[in-house]
Amino acid sequence: MIGRLNHVAIAVPDLEAAAAQYRDTLGAKVGAPQDEPDHGVTVVFIELPNTKVELLYPLGAESPIAGFLEKNPAGGIHHMCFEVDDILAARDKLKSEGARVLGSGQPKIGAHGKPVLFLHPKDFNGCLIELEQV
């Protein structure tokens, strides 16, 4: 079911400093910050040859990563995103096997303009998993 690893997302306490570190110290290809108001984050995409790293910084009062940064003030790996061909089929299979889907269970449009869902970390070894239909 799962295909490519679309990205690994890192919540960071200082977006400008983190982007500069990936660009200058780690020598990666780093994009410009993009506000994603529907997701409560500002994102910087880091393009690696085979996948992406996404730096996440809270945007707005209801940001879903604000709590994570409170618990992890230095930042940390927030989630990983796997691609799927059919997000509704994936959701239904996972639910039928007892895995919990976060929120309403209806896919939202993610930062890449594609339908996404998040799976409950407690059902996946403490890892927040995003599924993105490609």
Residues found near its own copies in the complex (CB under 8 A) = 1-5, 8, 10-13, 18, 21, 25-28, 48-51, 53, 55, 72, 74-77, 80, 82, 93-94, 97, 99, 121-122, 124-127
d(CA 17, CA 6): 24
Which amino acid would we find at residue 102? L
CB of 13 to its own copies, least distance (A): 7
d(CA 98, CA 23): 41
CB of 77 to its own copies, least distance (A): 4
Q: Which is nearer to its own copies, 38 or 77 (CB)?
A: 77
User: What backbone phi and psi angles, to 5 degrees, belong to 3?
Assistant: -110, -125
d(CA 114, CA 6): 12
Which active-site residues does the annotation give? 130
Q: Which is nearer to its own copies, 11 or 87 (CB)?
A: 11
